[in-house]
Amino acid sequence: MSTHDDHGHAAHGHAPAPAALPGKPTDWATVRNVSLLIAIFALLAWMVSLVACGSVEARENERRAEAASAAWPRAEQEARAFLKRYDAGYQKLYAAASEAEWLTNTHIVEGDDSNARRNDSSKAALAAFTGSVEVIETCRRLLAQKKELEPLTARQLEMVLYNAGDKPATAKELVAQRIAAETKQVEKLFGYSFHLDGKEVTPNDLDELLKKETDLKKRQAAWEASKEVGRGLKGGLADLQRLRNGTVRALGYPDYFSYMVSSYGMTTEEMIALNDRTLRELRPLYRELHTYWRHELAKRYGQPVPDMIPAHWLPNRWSQDWNELMSVPGVDLNAALKDRSPEWVVKQAEKLYVSLGFPPLPPTFWEKSSLYPVAADAGFKKNTHASAWHMDLDRDVRSLMSVENNREWYETAHHELGHIYYYLSYSRPEIPLVLRTGANPAFHEGIGTMIGLAAMQPRFIQAVGLAPAASDSKPDPIQMLHQQALFYAVFTPWSSGVMTHFEHELYARELPKEQWNQRWWELVAKYQGIVPPAQRGEEFCDAATKTHINDTPAMYYSYSLANVILMQIHDHIAREILHEDPHDANYFGHREVGDFLRLLLAPGATVDWRQLMKEKLGQEISAEPMLRYFEPLMKWLQEQNRGRKQTLPDV
């Protein structure tokens, strides 16, 4: 305020009032006006000097940058100029394609192909840009001079060339066919109407039946209803098998599986070997779980103990997650969440990240995300599979979920926000646009799943009011581990085993579609020790009922490796930062945990993931922390299974 300025200046003696003219009374209003003018002129002069200094400083910075640029080798100068042009076009087209794909996943209307056409058009424009002959030839030419390039520049060019490999202009016709085929497959998958007993049901309805129903005939009917969608997807998947292989071969990749694996800086053989090693390391624990639950489920359903577990006995459509088989007294999250709203579930997940020092989610996240189930009378459907979206490679982040107030969605909400905060962490000017992605895909999955694990720790769920604080209701630590193992240990045979090996055979060996269902169930039996409730012929396509086979292909090993990595990170945080037992480490409110996580998240893909693990964790990827975590449970299971026949085959 002017009054404050006037009195303040006078009090501090910055501008004494001018003396009065002789023989005339002092005109204090004039004095004040003159003082004010002097102050204004002084302020303007100061601002002009700042601008001048700033201009000089800016010109000096430009001169230094030009001098530094002139000192770069010619290849480095050309590469930087190329990347600057590429980034501008790429971000604009990427954002447009993301918006179109978002609508395709969130607003599916039977008979309306407007979203599909928009999606095809925007993806074609992006593919024409990223896979152009000019882009490919420029990257190859510059990378041939890699010794003259800065490491970060070379890394960007390698990523640009990798992106070009997915849909290269050198296979223009195949790319156009593939884009249309992928859009059609997704709409068919997520626009499908499931029916049970003559009534339309949602995937969530079928999931609830498999979690709670005790009648085996009703369970089998629900399980079989969940697989019907695969019949209509088989032809589309056969087209995609051909088109995906065809597009990447145009840039020299032998098949689509090897293309996807190359994002890890690994060969197919190395990736398969890593997954097989993980399977072998965790096989003894899974064998004990398999043996224990064959007997428990036989008892539950009044049936003879089988050698292989019938798929409809388990609480998940693909038998990938068994933790709904049991509840732990003192920590029944489904009961605790019954009176909470779905909105509370998502907000609680955000609170955990904020407590670690991350900022609140941007308002646009809440405005633009699709977080809850679509109303039955909405007139449209949406993809019900949870996902996180980085729409513009900057601050527009969204999530697609169908959150309900139960344990599964509580963990999922924490997981998906892990992706969101990873996006935000590396969306900074220091990180080049094309390197705004995870250190590898498994890191992205691992961070979110680790926070989901942290949100299940006993003291944490007590702290947020989801478990009683009374000492007599403290959960049994072995049974807590048991329930966690029904996700983490059970998931490995499904992800590293069934999914990874099926997709490897689908693309690298071009498995004929006439053998798909037979081979699928051979892999399920071999790795999971599970069989279908009745014969499944080739009229079915049970692999295609899993969304990733259709729309996120040949990368499911990332989820398995994510569990291994997350256990390594969690073990480090618990032991080295919190100095707590990894079985009950409470992250909430510990900003030092957030500081450590930012060291992992902020670099994005600017460093090699193996180097990042060695520098921040002091170790390479290893299942040893996971085995150590579940060691008390392993001893308990061995005691329970004493004298029981083990039927799970070796891998």
Specify which residues 530 forms β-bridges with.
309
Environment class of 471 (CB within 10 Å of its CB; exposed 0-12, middle 13-18, buried 19+): exposed
Neighbours of 195 (CB within 10 A): 11
- According to DSSP, the residues that pair with 94 across neighbouring strands are none
Shared domain for 624 and 509, answered yes or no, is yes
CATH number, domain with residue 385? 1.10.1370.30
The answer to whether position 612 is within a domain reads yes
On whether both 182 and 298 belong to a single domain, the answer is no
Examine residue 343 and state whether it is found in any structural domain, yes or no. Answer: yes
Tell me what pLDDT residue 25 has.
37
User: What residues of the chain score a pLDDT lower than 70?
Assistant: 1-70, 469-473
pLDDT at 11 (0 to 100) = 34
Pick the last residue of a domain from 158, 191, 224: 191
Residues 463 and 347 in one domain: yes
Residue 363 placed within a domain: yes
Q: How far apart are CA 556 and CA 498, in angstroms?
A: 10
Considering the domain boundaries, does residue 210 fall inside one?
Answer: no
Specify the 3-state DSSP secondary structure of 630.
Answer: coil
Neighbours of 30 (CB within 10 A): 11
Q: 279 and 180 in one domain?
A: no
* pLDDT recorded at residue 70: 67
- Dihedral of the alpha carbons of 419, 424, 429, 432, in degrees to the nearest 10: 10
For residue 472, how many other CB atoms are within 10 A of its CB? 6
Residue 102 near residue 382, CB atoms below 8 Å: no
Residues 295 and 180 in one domain: no
Do 186 and 276 share a structural domain?
A: no
Residue 186 and residue 275 in one domain? no
Q: Examine the domain organization and report whether 303 and 164 are in the same domain.
A: no
Q: Are 626 and 563 in contact (CB under 8 A)?
A: yes
352 dihedral zone (left: phi>0; alpha: psi -120 to 50; beta): alpha
What is the Cα–Cα distance from 498 to 289, expressed in whole angstroms?
A: 18
**pLDDT at 68 (0 to 100):** 61
Q: What is the pLDDT of residue 329?
A: 85
Give a yes or no: residue 381 inside a domain. Answer: yes
Q: Which of 165, 191, 217 is the last residue of a domain?
A: 191
pTM of the model as a whole: 0.85
CA distance linking residue 122 with residue 102, whole number of Å? 12
Which residue in 489, 393, 503, 488 sits closest to 445, CA to CA?
A: 488
Q: Of 191, 219, 250, which marks where a domain is finished?
A: 191
Domain count, the chain: 2
Q: Are residues 304 and 187 in the same domain?
A: no
* Residue 55 placed within a domain: no
Which tokens in the block code for residue 309? 């577990």
Q: Are 284 and 408 in a shared domain? A: yes
CA 167 from chain center: how many Å?
Answer: 23
Spatial contact of 279 and 527, defined as CB atoms under 8 Å apart: yes
Assess if residue 630 is contained within a domain. Answer: yes
Determine, yes or no, domain membership for 389.
Answer: yes
Tell me, what's the pLDDT at 494?
98
**Six token digits for residue 317:** 């459509």
Q: 309-310 and 530-531 as β-strands: parallel, antiparallel, unpaired?
A: parallel
Whether residues 384 and 520 fall in one domain: yes
312 and 177 within one domain = no
Look up the domain containing 620 and give its range. 271-640
Residue 127: the pLDDT is: 96
